[in-house]
Chain A
Amino acid sequence: MLLHITTDGPPIYQQIVEQIRYRIVSGQLGVGDELPTIRGLAESSRVNPNTVARAYRELENEGLVEKRRTVGTFVAASEAKLTAAERRRLIAPHIDRVLVQAKQLGVPLDDLLAQMTQRNAKLHDAPIPTPAKESK
């Protein structure tokens, strides 16, 4: 797995979490696929192994992957273990960012909501969507 890590952005473990999460959500990694070992990923992306381990822990807490003892780490089949409140808390900063942008461009809230619904429909038609991060 080739990850793109920059050091002037968000913390490195968060970059790893986001990139793996994106691959899982977008379907590049299917249920039951094995993630690279901590050591392998650390060497290939030249990052401290502890950081990779921390990212894997985070992903495990989110319920995206599961650790099978002595075998490795795999993409989890089960639904997300996060509670609704936790999910709301996680999405809040992204919504804030969109709202600030909309206000600056002068897009009213109704229009924004309509566009969101529209784009959501499109997103589910297309197999691999453009991530919010890159379209920003």
Chain B
Amino acid sequence: MSVSHPAIEIDHLSCAFRRSEALHDVTLSIPTGCVFGLVGLNGAGKTTLIRHLIGGLRPRTGRVRVLGEDPTQTPESVMQHVGYVAEEDVLPRWMRVGELIDFMRALYRNWDDQLCDKLLEQFSLDRSTKLADMSKGGRARAGLLVALAHRPQLLILDEPSYGLDPIARQDILEAVVRTASDEGRTVLFSSHLLDEVSRVCDTVGVIGGGRLLEVIATEQLPERYCEVVGELSIDDLAQRELPGFFGWQNRGREWSVAVDRRAYPDEATLRREIGGELVHEVRPLSLERWFSARVNDRELATIPRTPAVEELSA
């Protein structure tokens, strides 16, 4: 497959279940070779987005292209190159590990037996164990094995480490890193565990309430944003309206806010804008703080302004 198109291309995708809106006008392009982390709270729309990518949902408005093709039109050819690990524990429990492997091997053209054996050994799985007798972590490893052993060009992991023990999580992260190290392979990694995302992803997208709020390269995050911590004086409430400020949080009189550095040429200007001595510290924005700022900001935007201000001054 040529590298001319991005691995994943989503154009103005919207989706609504009954009354609730699951996705609202999402546009996203993930280039080949990228390790993309999709973060968001539970129910933010991560799984809905991923279900569109594997062809489980047919877009009503918008367009989805995976490896240059529509996964609902030509699942036979697209899915040959996609590895997918589902959020839920869905593997057929009546199968044995060996039977699962044999079944999956028959479906994929470029199944790699050597890699499969290597992974079996690494994940310490036994071909004769029944999936029903295995622990949740064991089943997750088996799912990961069959998603990796055909050397997919695109690996999609939907909350892979949810509810797993630390060792199983490490195995999953290692698999992601290994896939990413190979040339021309893409990983989409959905999670709400930010430390995993910040370790392995080079690009992060935050999704909240069905909207893709921001996409940024993890490397750029500390350069682009900073966190300002200071003390609030009552008559300075208007500061909330300063450009590039978002995600206010306060504990007592002390407050913290995320600031977009592009609005201010240097730190001195920033301090002067806020009002000098109020500021305790200006530090680079961590991924956690960025995430909570983006998600909180969206929630604030949906509720009326005034109560939020009162809450802040209280």
By a beta-carbon cutoff of 8 Å, the part of chain A in contact with chain B is: 5, 7-8, 11-13, 38-39, 42-43, 46-51, 54
Contacts and interface: CB of A to CB of B under 8 A. Distances in A.
A7 B181 contact: no
B177 A42 contact: yes
B222 A11 contact: yes
A48 B35 contact: yes
A7 B177 contact: no
Contacts of A38: 181
Contacts, number: 48
Interface stretch (B9-17, B196-204, B253-261): B196-204
B170 interface: yes
A80 B178 CA distance: 33
B286 interface: yes
B180 interface: yes
B177 A12 contact: no
Given A47-B177, A48-B218, A49-B181, 18 more contacts: A5-B199, A7-B194, A7-B195, A7-B198, A8-B288, A11-B284, A43-B177, A43-B178, A46-B177, A46-B199, A47-B199, A48-B180, A48-B199, A48-B200, A48-B202, A50-B219, A51-B202, A51-B219
A53 B198 CA distance: 16
Contacts of B170: 46
A125 B202 CA distance: 43
If over half of A's interface residues share one DSSP class (helix, strand or loop), that class is named, otherwise mixed; here it is helix
A8 B177 contact: no
Interface string B119-158: 0000000000000000000000000000000000000000
Interface size range on B against A = 20 to 34
A11 B200 CA distance: 13
B contacts with A: majority SS: helix
Contact of A50 (B174, B202, B222, B286): B202
Interface of B: 35, 170, 173-174, 177-178, 180-181, 194-195, 198-202, 218-219, 222, 284, 286-288
State the 4 A-B residue pairs at the shortest beta-carbon distance, nearest first.
A7-B195, A46-B173, A39-B181, A49-B181
A136 to B, nearest CB: 18
A46 to B, nearest CB: 4
Contacts of B222: 11
Nearest to B169: A46
Contacts of B287: 7
Contacts of B195: 7-8
Nearest to B33: A50
A47 B200 contact: yes
A54 B177 contact: no
A46 B174 contact: yes
Contacts of B174: 43, 46
A12 B195 CA distance: 11
A15 B174 CA distance: 19
Nearest to A6: B195
